[in-house]
Amino acid sequence: MGRTSRLMRLDAFTKTVEDARIRTTSGGLVTIFSVLVIFFLVIGEFNDYRKVTVISELVVDKARGEQMEIHLNVTFPRVPCELLSLDVMDVSGDLQASVSHGVEKHRLDKFGTIIESSYLEVHPEHPKHLDPDYCGECYGANAPETSTKHGCCQTCDDVREAYAAKGWAFGDGTGVHQCEEEGYKERIKEQAEEGCRIDGHLWVNKVIGNFHIAPGKSFSNAQMHVHDLQNYLQSDVDHDFTHTINNLAFGPPLPTNLLHERHHQQNPLDGTSKHTKDRNYNYLYFLKIVSTSYEHLDGGYTINTHQYSVTSHERSLEGGKDEVHPGTVHAKGGIPGVFFSYDISPMKVINREVRMKSFAGFLTGVCAVIGGTLTVAAALDRGLYEGARRMGKVHQR
Ligand SMILES: *[C@@H]1O[C@H](CO)[C@@H](O)[C@H](O)[C@H]1NC(C)=O
């Protein structure tokens, strides 16, 4: 006895004497069992190591002078395409009146089937009835800059534009030579029962702004924004701004797994329908746009897009008419239509895919699993063996 025996008592790795080794059936069962347990736990450990989690962080958005893509898809079952125009404005003073590029309008029949598709407000080709020397009259208004011949109103569209610039109501074009030639009145009549779907992309500056879909040609200057509402308000057919927003997005979609995980919708207005029977009705949507990026782990590519939150307001317009020019309504009094006003959030959400576990962590986990399982199994085996032996003694007695 002495120092050595005290040290011996501290030995955690007690050695088995070779002769005392015996194999038991219970030991065999415990071994198989622990191998299975190790197998499953190591698989779990591996899955954990491979698992990609998305972490989100909020930072101040420092990007400047960016452009933003608006994807718009809205159906108006009771306003024909001929009467609709889309205007985009932002605080930087950039006005894109009657936006054309990249936005299509689809004429829809009563059942919502497409009759014809064309780009919105594209300037019509040179009408065939014009001879080269022809210079159309503008009926007291100033010829628009977009006219194909300087100082002349070559088409019905030119006259309408010239009238809109003056803030005059245009009507159905009766008495206007260009429009009678083109059959403008007949076209409006013929399409009166139709609906329209506006569908396409716009690029805007990433600053506070708004866009709206309202009836009639529009004209803006520093003081006012005017729409020629006569055809809309005085039509025999009931028009109104009942609409369905099929899609309104500000950039490409985020991965669906992320949205699923967070129980979250990137574009909350998708699928929204609003109904009215009131011709003079106006819908306002206020959007707060939040820049959002998503960084993929594999390939390292990043999606830069936006999400938004929305509040909406709708009201009937009373007495919005201008007494001086009947049929013309100033923006202040309110225009029937669908208006979207958007604001940009100063914060940006960054979603990043990461692996929570390193390879070293994975190895540590595997060692822990094997070591731990074997220790528990050894204790179990010992217990079973001891138990069996005592029982055997009891039987022998
Ligand atoms: C716009 O929405 C309609 C109706 O949901 C759909 O049929 C059409 O494909 C959409 N257009 C685009 C470009 O996604």
Any atom of ligand 1 within 6 Å of the Cβ of 199: yes
pLDDT at position 397: 47
Any atom of ligand 1 within 6 Å of the Cβ of 244: no
Average pLDDT, rounded, for the chain:
80
In which residue are the tokens 């088995």 written? 16
Q: In terms of domains, do 327 and 234 share one?
A: yes
Any atom of ligand 1 within 6 Å of the Cβ of 73: yes
Distance 73 CA to ligand 1 centre (A): 7
The CATH number given to whatever domain includes residue 203 is 2.60.470
Q: In terms of domains, do 101 and 240 share one?
A: yes
Number of folded domains that form the chain: 2
Q: Decide if 127 is inside a domain.
A: no
Q: Decide if 178 is inside a domain.
A: no
Any atom of ligand 1 within 6 Å of the Cβ of 82: no
* CA nearest ligand 1 atom 7, residue: 246
Q: In terms of domains, do 301 and 365 share one?
A: no
Q: In terms of domains, do 314 and 236 share one?
A: yes
Q: In terms of domains, do 290 and 341 share one?
A: yes
Q: In terms of domains, do 335 and 237 share one?
A: yes
Q: In terms of domains, do 227 and 334 share one?
A: yes
- What is the C-alpha to C-alpha distance for residues 387 and 390, in angstroms, rounded to an integer? 5
Q: Decide if 384 is inside a domain.
A: yes
Helix crossing, 25-50 with 359-396: angle to 10°?
A: 160
pLDDT at 298 over 60: yes
Any atom of ligand 1 within 6 Å of the Cβ of 77: no
Q: In terms of domains, do 347 and 254 share one?
A: yes
Least confident of 3-17, 124-138, 206-220: 124-138
Hey, which of 201, 245, 246 would you mutate to test ligand 1's pocket, going by the most ligand atoms within 8 Å of its Cβ? 246
pLDDT at position 124: 41
pLDDT for 363-395, tens place per residue? Answer: 999 999 999 999 999 888 888 888 888 887 665
Q: In terms of domains, do 264 and 312 share one?
A: yes
Q: In terms of domains, do 298 and 370 share one?
A: no
Q: In terms of domains, do 220 and 314 share one?
A: yes
pLDDT bin (cut points 50, 70, 90) of residue 180 is confident
* CA nearest ligand 1 atom 2, residue: 246
pLDDT for 253-282, tens place per residue? Answer: 888 877 777 777 888 999 889 998 888 888
| Between 344 and 167, residue with greater pLDDT | 344
Q: In terms of domains, do 252 and 342 share one?
A: yes
Distance 82 CA to ligand 1 centre (A): 20
* CA nearest ligand 1 atom 4, residue: 246
pLDDT for 83-101, tens place per residue? Answer: 888 888 877 666 665 554 6
pLDDT for 221-238, tens place per residue? Answer: 556 666 777 777 777 778
Any atom of ligand 1 within 6 Å of the Cβ of 161: no
Distance 245 CA to ligand 1 centre (A): 10
Domain housing 373 = 23-51+356-396
pLDDT at 49 over 50: yes
Burial, 51: exposed, middle or buried (Cβ in 10 Å; 0-12, 13-18, 19+)?
exposed
In which residue are the tokens 């308000």 written? 233
